[in-house]
Structure 1
Amino acid sequence: MSETKSHDSERCTLLASSSRPPSYYSVNPAPLDASESKVLEPSARDIRWVLAGLWSAVFLGALDGTIVATLLAPIGSDFNKAHQASYLGTSYLLSVCCFTPLYGRLSDILGRKGAMLLAISLFTIGTALCGVAPSMEALIAARAIAGMGGGGVMTVCSITTTDLIPLRKRGLYQGLGNIMYGMGAGLGGPLGGLVNDHFGWRMAFLIQVPFLVISFALVALKVNVKLPVQKRTAREKFMRIDWLGSSTLVSTVGASLLAISLKSSEGYEWSDPIVSGLLGISLVSCLAFLWVETCWAVEPVMPMKLLLQRTPLATSVANLLTSVIAYSMLYNIPLYFSAVRALTSTDSGMRLLPHSAAISCGSIFAGWYMRRTGKFWWLTVYTVLLILGANIALSMWDENTPGWHMWLDIVPGGFGSASFTTSTLIALIAAVKKEDMAVATGISYLFRTTGQVLGVSLSGAFMQAQLLSNLRERIRGPEAEEIIRQIRHSTTIIPTLSPELRKAAVDSYALSIRTVFVCQAAVAFLAFLASLPIEEFPLPGSMQEQEAQDKHRECAAPNTESAT
């Protein structure tokens, strides 16, 4: 037995130290010897074309996100259902949450190009349906269809970039990709407001469709990433996808969020059979999800073996919390300027520009720092402190806060969020084996999108509950409930109210949104605590070093098991 172990150990040592370990991915692989293979670094030209195709879709996805955030008030007012406007974000992000982890598996089955084309197709169909939706309910459903594709755009882009770029340089390329994301997010707010003010909110959706078609063509022509030959057929791999795990996950999140929304937005009591029934469904679905992932799924959508590891667990929890904050800010800052400062949709969207510019700068800085130092732990801790500071500043906004102060206060939040997202993604990839990379990336985006869903829905539900309470304290009389209903359903009615009622409405909105900002600061502190256990791992600077590190890790795992 000891001789066998010694032989295996020697073999692993030779594999790990080989100067030319076998290749895993390449863009244009050359014919290989039967006896050996070598790592093929893709050319700069190949990488540029691949990333151009991927990043065009990322840009459009980010553009759509801030367009919708800016249009919540006019859409809600148009349908006279402003209290349901947050559902537009919730439905989209809930759908993203469901489909994001599936794209990790689909990218292996359909290939990187096939998975991305599927994502863009669904996103385009959903966006087009948004532009022609006849009701708020139809618009919410269309956003859910768009989310089926949106869940794959960022995930497949990230997986493909990791295929092609050594880990130490990966953060810089992630930062460059986030510049495209930041540009899209920055243009989406003012573009959405401008189009709404001149052509109506429907055109803000329809104008995206031609650009999505161009992105589809660019991906189809230029994204060519060759995967290693798999032993299983596409049908066998498709059947191994964890459909039950995905279904129970979406049932868990969806039922709980719907219960909370009905309680806060529609005035249901906790004891109401509908609310309590939804909470019960959520609990049962959660238990079923944990059982499926632990005991039943062949290839679980959320492998517990990864989440039981220190760094994957810490990065997942921290990403969930920071995503809650980021999307709560994204949807509540424009609402603040629209309802409290009485700005137009265009001006409210413009207020997100510093945040979007900071996202681009934060991503690039994080990538540059990791490429230069090969470290990420201190970067992660410092950037989450920036997020905390930004939310403390937001919670201090009042009627005396100068305009320039409001422009600057959101900058640290965008910079910190982008840097934190970049560094934790690299930390997660560095902590797992090569064969777990795609699913680990899917898990990272799963926790992010879950946090985004929670950020939009919980902040919207909590804000509406606070708003209702504050309005009832300030507005009394025989017609008070009808006036309160109109104020909650449409922010455009506020300027038409009498001075006393207008002040009551503005003060109620200001206090409600400020309470949300205080809660964001509390969540940011929890994110800081969650990020402390993240481990520092060496970041290889070339594909050869990365392959050698993967071999070393594969060999270390059996030795660790035998030692225990």
Structure 2
Amino acid sequence: MAVDSNETTRLVPSTKRTNTDYQTTGPQVIAHDTTDTTEMSHDLSITKKLNGVNVYTILVGLWVGVFLSSLDSSIVATIYPRIGTEFHRSNDIIWVATSYLLSYAALQPLYGRLSDSFGRQTTYQFAVTVFFIGSLLCGAATSLEFLVFARTVAGIGGGGLNTISSVITSDLVSLRDRASFQGYANLFFGAGAVIGAPLGGLLSDTIGWRFCFYLNIPILLGPLYASFFKISNYNLQDEDNRSFMDKVRELDGAGAFFVVCTVFFVMLATSLGGNSREWSDPFVIGLLAASLLSGIVFVFVEKYYATFPIMPIEIISQQTPLASAFTNFFCLGCAMTNTFVLPLYFQVLLNYSASQSGLFFLPRVVGGSVGSLYAGYHIRHRGEYRKLLIASSVGMLLAVMLISTWNTATNVWWTMPVTMLDGFSGGVIITASLISMISCVKRQEMATMTSISYLFRTTGGVIGVSLSQAIFQGVVKDLLVQQLAGVPDAAEIIEIARKSMMDVRTLVPADYLETVLASYDVAIHYAFLFSVALAALSLVSTLFIRQHDLH
């Protein structure tokens, strides 16, 4: 390929506005123009830019942002028991994880449309700035409520780091080269997701959990440099006379709102049910009913109201897209359940430190990265994804079934190959299910399918984390109430067991410590069984996916 003569200059404004399907939320994004002829011309001009130094500088800067966005979703996995103990709120600490994922899921589908209306540079700068502020606030948090708020702010920015990176990469990369660049972006995203847990444990045990969030600050220099010096609002037309409110009205704000309501009400119900309220409490039942109602309204809004819906019903209702979406939902629910229950097993039950617990995550890190890369290689060279999805779903189900048998007598070295299989299978499923979604639709619908894939993926993770933690807390409470009946200090012991899990060995009287640890053992087992159910549902979903020719 020839080198662009102006390769060291930043991207310049284009006279033609690219019609990007703006709901994109992940590494693979397909930009398309209004006609095949203009698309070919666009691809040829972009191909020349791929040898330009600034193009690679831009992409690396953007992918660093993708890495951070993904890292922040998982870095709390090994440190949340310690944070919960410090604030004496272990029974509520899961909100630290789910608040980030919820705001992330709600805003990421809107960022593409924002970048089309207000410019790539402006929107990306907003996302980086909000993520920067959220990270600072997380590190400075003095209460659980403040930390949850800060994580929500960080999630708003994190969704933009992922989405705008996808959109800009799509602008720069030709159709011919897009598969290769998707693999690079997936590697950054996957690395952030799987490195978060071991890195969080190491930082927590050495310099403190707050530095898990302060760590983002220096790394953000890469995305900040790209956003201020290497990217312009090149996609905006000079003759665009739309007002600010006209641009805002193009957003599917109502759709995003009802997605948030649907997931939030489930999260709140699972946080309260079996915890501070009984599952039969009218308020908890009302929350579940409100979630169902919000979901119904969301479908109505997407089908009849939204001009640019974040989830077009006529597309997602097709068999393969719907089956692929649910494969994503259940797979990520399973993966995130394991991500947040495994630290309980290693730290609370086996009494390993956060950093030691993080080391046991390393095989999962390697497995996830290799799985993602293998899926890309397999699909690119064989053009086949259905059998690969089914085989990897069987592998994930086998792995979580083995994990569900673990107890205090399990050889810790045996956990490593099992978690590696779990990570490898999940890495394959995440990559291959995205390809299965976009392979069966027209080119102009590909980015919309990518958006739907990531929307199901993120909401599945939120629901998985919320329900698994509700199961854990509920089982611990019920078992201790039964087994400590008649004990004078029963209420205090139960309070310590549920709110200060990392300190039970020093705070719980020796006569009752084994009882508390036994309740943890049973509760973790039930949480892992929930993960098995999600893996089984993911496998069932893959059976309905059809093989399509890759175009």
In structure 2, relative to structure 1, the CA distance for the partners of 1:226 and 1:312 (3 Å cut) is farther
Which of 110, 115, 127 pairs up with 1:107? 115
The residue aligned with 2:68 is 60
Does structure 1 residue 145 correspond to structure 2 residue 153? yes
Distance 1:150 1:433 in 2: 29
- Aligned 8 A contact 2:102 2:264 in 1: yes
Per-residue deviation at 1:120?
2.2
Q: Is the 8 A contact 2:73 2:101 kept in 1?
A: no
Partner of 2:402: 393
Tell me, in whole angstroms, the C-alpha distance in 1 between the residues paired with 2:115 and 2:422: 32
* Counterpart position of 2:391: 382
The answer to whether the 8 A contact 1:174-1:363 is kept is: no
The answer for the alignment partner of 2:528 in structure 1 is: 517
Matches within 5 A, 1:51-130: 51-130=59-138
Q: Which residue is equivalent to 1:417?
A: 426
Displacement of 1:255 after TM fit?
1.4
Q: Which among 490, 513, 517 is matched to residue 502 of structure 1?
A: 513
Q: 1:167 touches 1:430 (CA, 8 Å); kept in 2?
A: no
Consecutive unaligned residues of structure 2, counting only runs of 5 or more, are 1-34
Aligned counterpart in structure 1 of residue 437 of structure 2, from 428, 431, 434: 428
For residues 83-117 of structure 1, give each alpha carbon's deviation from its aligned partner in whole angstroms, at most 9, with x where no partner exists. 11111111111111211221232232234444433
Aligned counterpart for 2:475 among listed residues 453, 463, 466 = 466
Length-normalised TM-score, structure 2? 0.86
Distance 1:174-1:509 versus aligned 2 partners, 3 A rule: farther
CA distance in 2 between counterparts of 1:129 and 1:47 reads 33
Q: Residue 291 of structure 2 aligns with which residue?
A: 282
Cα deviations by residue, 1:288-340 (Å, 9 ceiling, x for unpaired): 22221121111112111111122221111110111100111111111111111
Counterpart of 1:265 in structure 2 is 275
Q: 2:306 aligns with which of 285, 288, 297?
A: 297
The change in CA–CA distance for 1:539 and 1:397 in structure 2 (over 3 A counts) is same
Give the aligned residue type for 2:550. L
Check 1:25–1:386 CA distance in 2 against 1; reply closer, same or farther (3 A cut): farther
Query: Is 1:23–2:39 an aligned residue pair?
Result: yes
- Residue identity over aligned pairs, in percent, reads 36
The code of the aligned residue for 1:367 comes to G
Residues 167/312 of structure 1: CA separation in 2 closer, same or farther (3 Å cut): farther
Q: Which residue of 1 aligns with 2:8?
A: none
Task: For residues 234-292 of structure 1, give each alpha carbon's deviation from its aligned partner in whole angstroms, at most 9, with x where no partner exists.
Answer: 743431211112112211211122022111222x1244343233233323322322221
Residues 107 and 160 in structure 2, CA contact (< 8 A), matched pair in contact too: yes
Q: Do the aligned partners of residues 393 and 449 (structure 1) sit closer, same or farther apart at CA in structure 2, a change above 3 Å counting?
A: same
Structure 1 CA distance for aligned equivalents of residues 170 and 77 of structure 2: 30
Specify whether residues 189 and 454 from structure 1 end up closer, same or farther in structure 2 by C-alpha distance, changes over 3 A only: same
Instruction: Flag the 1:170–1:422 CA change in 2: closer, same or farther, 3 A.
Output: farther
- 2-side partners of 1:505 and 1:73: how far apart? 16
Instruction: Find the residue that maps to 1:156 and give its secondary structure.
Output: helix
CA distance in 2: counterparts of 1:488 and 1:73, whole angstroms: 11
| SS in structure 1 of the partner of residue 290 of structure 2 | helix
Cα deviations by residue, 1:41-63 (Å, 9 ceiling, x for unpaired): 64244653332122101222233
Q: SS state of the match for residue 441, structure 1? A: helix
- Tell me if the contact between 2:119 and 2:236 (Cα under 8 Å) persists in the aligned partners: no
Which residue pairs with 2:22 in the alignment? Answer: none
Name the stretch that deviates more: 495-504 or 373-382.
495-504
**Which of residues 510, 521, 546 in structure 2 aligns to 1:535?**
546
Higher helix residue share: 1
The question of 1:238 aligning with 2:248 is answered yes
The alignment covers a number of residue pairs equal to: 512
Distance (Å, rounded) in 1 between the aligned partners of 2:499 and 2:80: 11
Task: Give the distance between the partners of 1:342 and 1:257, measured in 2 at CA.
Answer: 29
5+ residue gaps, structure 1, are: 1-18, 31-38, 541-564
2:266 pairs with one of 256, 259, 280: 256
Structure 1 residues 317-466: aligned runs within 5 Å: 317-466=326-475
Q: If you compute each CA radius of gyration, which structure gives the higher value, 1 or 2?
A: 1
C-alpha distance in 2, partners of 1:205/1:338?
Answer: 21
Label 1:367 to 1:327 Cα distance change in 2 as closer, same or farther (>3 A): same
One-letter amino acid of the structure 1 residue matched with residue 533 of structure 2: A
SS in 2 for 1:21: helix
- Normalised by the length of structure 1, the TM-score is 0.84
